[in-house]
């Protein structure tokens, strides 16, 4: 069974960089595209970007200047970095498998941006 | 960017009733690239429908999707207690993915 688990700090200071890692089990990361999606509290879903195991990436244009997604095939993980965060980046961050639609999701990690 | 508008915002129905949810796109979307998700409080979304009308693995047949171009519909034929949740449509086009704002199906 495919499982994804997000990990990383739950609190980030304004202007700093948010960093999250998604660990995949039950599947090889070298077979699909993998995505990050976020959801501000009480709001809808926003796709952040995706990565192929080869390292090829595709980002949401609204976040592209601040986002970096990378992959670590040896540990079956992929990661998200979002720089220069503000309170507007406070959200639950989900990792998911897929690039057109998303078949498996992690449980989500709440990241709060606050001093 | 293609904007997806879902209606109604909230649907108040009783168990056993039929639910019809709408998703309208600002530009034509390939049917192959339209999906629906269900999200319950505190949980991740769950893929219900992909390719506008194909049910994902393990999804009961009371869920069905239809539509093409700019108008898509998710139908739940008979609401079960576990179906009360928020539903999102999502599209892929020009290397971008966007979600609708969601429709909440609540118990009347």
Query: Nearest 5 degrees, angle CA B41-CA B44-CA B49?
Result: 105
Tokens of B75: 């139908």
Beta strands in chain B (DSSP E): 4-7, 10-13, 19-29, 34-39, 46-50, 54-55, 63-76, 86-93, 96-99, 103-107
Q: Determine the distance in angstroms separating the CA of A45 from the nearest CA of chain B, rounded to an integer.
A: 6
B58: Cβ–Cβ under 8 A, 6 or more apart, which residues?
Answer: none
- pLDDT band of B32, cuts 50, 70, 90: confident
Residue B7 to chain A, least CA–CA distance (Å): 14
A40 and chain B in contact, CB less than 8 A:
no
Determine which of A33, A35, A100 to mutate to test the interface with B (most B C-beta atoms within 10 Å).
Answer: A100
Pairing between strand B10-13 and B34-39? unpaired
Q: Confidence class of residue B49 from pLDDT cuts 50, 70 and 90?
A: very high
pLDDT tens for B51-99 read: 999 999 999 999 999 999 999 999 999 999 999 999 999 999 878 899 9
- Chain A interface, mutation test: which of B97, B102, B104, most A Cβ atoms within 10 Å? B97
Contacting residues of A for B50, CB less than 8 Å apart: 100-101
Distance CA A89, CA A87 (A): 5
The answer to whether A64 faces chain B, any CB pair under 8 Å, is: no
Closest to A105 (Cβ–Cβ): which among B45, B50, B97? B45
pLDDT of residue B93: 85
Q: Is the pLDDT of residue B5 over 80?
A: yes
pLDDT of chain A, 115 residues: tens digit per residue:
999 999 999 999 999 999 999 999 999 999 899 999 999 999 999 999 999 999 999 999 999 999 999 999 999 999 999 999 999 999 999 999 998 999 999 999 999 999 9
Mean pLDDT of chain A: 96
| A–B CB contacts, 8 A cutoff, strictly below | 52
The per-residue pLDDT for A31 is 86
- Nearest-by-CA chain A residue for B101: A44
Q: How much is the pLDDT for B31?
A: 78
Q: What is the mean pLDDT of residues B22-51?
A: 95
Binary contact (A106, B92; C-beta < 8 A): no
Question: Per the CB < 8 Å rule, is B88 touching A105?
Answer: no
Contact A44 B101 (CB under 8 A): yes
């Amino acid at each position: 069974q495919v499982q994804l688990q997000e990990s990383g700090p739950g609190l980030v200071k304004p202007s700093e960089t948010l960093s999250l890692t998604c660990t995949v089990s039950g599947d090889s990361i070298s077979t699909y595209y993998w995505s990050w999606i976020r959801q501000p509290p009480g709001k809808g879903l926003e796709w952040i970007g995706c990565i192929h195991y080869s390292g090829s990436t595709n980002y949401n244009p609204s976040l592209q200047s601040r986002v970096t997604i990378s992959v670590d095939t040896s540990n079956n993980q992929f990661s998200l970095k979002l720089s220069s965060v503000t309170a507007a980046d406070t959200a639950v961050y989900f990792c998911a498998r897929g690039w057109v639609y998303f078949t498996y999701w992690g449980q989500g990690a709440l990241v709060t941006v606050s001093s | 960017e293609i904007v997806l508008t879902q209606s109604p915002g909230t649907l108040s129905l009783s168990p056993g009733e039929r639910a019809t949810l709408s998703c309208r796109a600002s530009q034509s979307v390939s049917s192959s690239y339209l999906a629906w998700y269900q999200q319950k409080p505190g949980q991740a979304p769950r893929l219900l429908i992909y390719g506008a009308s194909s049910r994902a693995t393990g999804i009961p047949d009371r869920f069905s999707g239809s539509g093409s171009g700019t108008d898509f519909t998710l139908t739940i034929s008979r609401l079960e207690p576990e179906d009360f949740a928020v539903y999102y449509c999502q599209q892929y086009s020009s290397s971008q993915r966007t979600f609708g704002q969601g429709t909440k199906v609540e118990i009347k």
